[in-house]
Amino acid sequence: MTSGPGEQPVVLALSGITKRFGALLANEAVDLELRRGQIVALLGENGAGKTTLMNILFGHYVADEGTVSVAGADGRLEPMEPGSPGAALRSGIGMVHQHFTLAENLTAFENIVLGTVPLIRPGLAGRNARARLAELMRRSGLEVDLDVRVSRLSVGEQQRVEILKALYRDARVLVLDEPTAVLTPQESDTLFATLKSLAAQGIAIVFISHKLAEVLAASDRVAVLRLGRKVADLPTAECDRQKLAELMVGHAVTPSRREPKAPGAALLTLDGVSAGEGRDSIRDVGFTLHEGEILGIAGVSGNGQSTLARLLSGLLPAERGSLFLRDKPVHAHDAGDMIRSGIARIPEDRHRDGVVGAMTVAENLVIEEIRGRRYQRFGFLDFSAIAARAREAIAAYDIRCPGGGAVARLLSGGNIQKIVLARTLDAEPVVVLAAQPSRGLDIGATGDVHRRLLEARARGAGVILISEDLDELFALSDRIAVIHRGHLSTPHPSEELDRASVGLMMAGHHTESEAA
């Protein structure tokens, strides 16, 4: 394809890419073109085939059909050798994976030049490399302390090292897989500013995302994947949230909204609670959760959320401080006691903590109540009661599975989360702890989770929502508190907060109200 007047030349073209994994069609006849200096967002739900497509582009996978072509030095498109990351690197494609591929015990500088410095006379090459890197950092605005070990850099800095590594290898096409998944809102803004300046210097950029806001803010063009097929490819200027969401899901989407409601009596109180050790511990945490209230807890992952969740799940004892449930002290660190006192727990890692993968859907639906009178007689399981419960829950929660006897491991993340929801929420809990309840779920499944949490709130339950997704927190929470390095800020009504102030607190800056 030739470039039209006024348009930049095509530097990369995927045509007719099809990839199967067994019976699963991950990509089907996908075409994608990338022009010089353009930022393209690859949007799609989980399992839509975004990462597969990028892995084919970078040579991790070989496509079953179709070709990847890259512009050579003369600007002509040439087919690239498939299945070879080396070939992709030589053609000027750089990839920043979701999980970074840095050697933690080497410095940033060593990571960047790794594999490019010759063994003979490394000193001289090193000096040249430093000069080149300094120039690169100046031009791109990616500032990193080169002589610090990667393990001591923040996540945002590590990402900058990854990008520098790609640029140092003369990448003309930069691919980023879910680059904002680990960043604070401010770090994300910085990243996108950097990407825009790189694009202005002629680099073509593809980033993968399922977050509509950042796609709208940062891209020139959006390609939407659904079930492995490209369903739309259009200029970002012609899109809005609603349109993109519908393209991504394939049907109309109604965003979750909570009805205003006055909170009830105090339900769960934490007073000066410390627990856990190391980076993820919590120190002197206190709050009160009321009936019919959703209390959002924002924070960048790894700041104590997991410890707070484990404490409230009954998996970890409090070292100091006290917990009260309706004025009665809660001592035991015993998950069974928590369940019996009416605290429902939706775990952060649903595959590890939520279900026993090798057991059936039915067994996972009753596992928390297996000792209750409903499912056993004299220690023997009542299979008909268990099967009946499974049928009921599968219907009520629309759990997509072959039946109650299916092994839970084979279900998708969204359906596994529905098992957890059915099990915990049908017990009519007084408190619901939802830790990252929509992480990794697509829009449809996320909507289900939100609806169920709002139903619990409407019923009068108190909900603690731990999340890294500000959209989710603002849509659902009555009050929001921020956790940073184990300390929890005072919760404020979410109407009085905005994204910027919460984002700053997530990064560790105290707001004026905090300081006062």
Partner 1 sequence: MIRFEPRENVSSARRVGAPVAAALVALLLASLPIAAAGAPVLEAYLLMARGAFGSVFAFSELLARATPLILTGLAAAVAFRARLWNIGGEGQLYAGALAAVAVGTGAISAPPALLIPLVVLAGAFAGGMMMLLPTLLKVRLGADEVVTTLLLNFVVILAVQMMLEGPMKDPMGMGWPQSEPMLDEAMLPKLLERMRVHSGLILALVMAVAVHVFLKRTVWGFEIRAVGENPEAARHAGIPVTATFVRVGLLSGALAGLAGVSEVAGLKGYLTADLSPGFGYTGIVVAMLAGLSPLGVVFAALFIAGIFVGADSMSRAIGVSNYLADLVVATSLICVLVSGLFVRFRIRLVTPKARKADA
Which residues lie near partner 1 (CB under 8 A)?
22, 62-64, 82-83, 313-315, 334-340, 345, 347, 352-359, 363, 367-368, 370-371, 376, 379-381, 383, 407, 410
**Cα R_g (the chain), whole angstroms:** 25
Residue 32 or 40: the one with the smaller Cβ distance to partner 1 is 32
Distance CA 204, CA 165 (A): 16
Residue 107 or 424: the one with the smaller Cβ distance to partner 1 is 424
Report the nearest approach of partner 1 to the CB of residue 348 (Å): 10
Residue 23 or 120: the one with the smaller Cβ distance to partner 1 is 23
* Other CB atoms within 10 Å distance of the CB of residue 18: 17
Phi, psi of 39 (to 5 degrees): -110, 115
Residue 86 or 260: the one with the smaller Cβ distance to partner 1 is 86
Report the nearest approach of partner 1 to the CB of residue 355 (Å): 6
Distance CA 70, CA 362 (A): 51
Residue 114 or 370: the one with the smaller Cβ distance to partner 1 is 370
Report the nearest approach of partner 1 to the CB of residue 376 (Å): 5
Report the nearest approach of partner 1 to the CB of residue 337 (Å): 8
Residue 44 or 347: the one with the smaller Cβ distance to partner 1 is 347
Report the nearest approach of partner 1 to the CB of residue 17 (Å): 11
Q: What is the sign of the dihedral through the CA atoms of 264, 266, 270 and 271? A: positive
Report the nearest approach of partner 1 to the CB of residue 341 (Å): 11
Distance CA 303, CA 438 (A): 19
Report the nearest approach of partner 1 to the CB of residue 336 (Å): 3
Using the structure block, give the residue that is written with the tokens 């619901």.
432
Q: What is the SS3 assignment for 20? A: strand
Distance CA 1, CA 13 (A): 9
The DSSP annotation for 280-322 comes to: G-EEEEEEEEETT-EEEEE--TTSSHHHHHHHHTTSS--SEEE
Residue 209 or 313: the one with the smaller Cβ distance to partner 1 is 313
Q: What is the dihedral of CA 343, 344, 349, 353, to 10 degrees?
A: 80
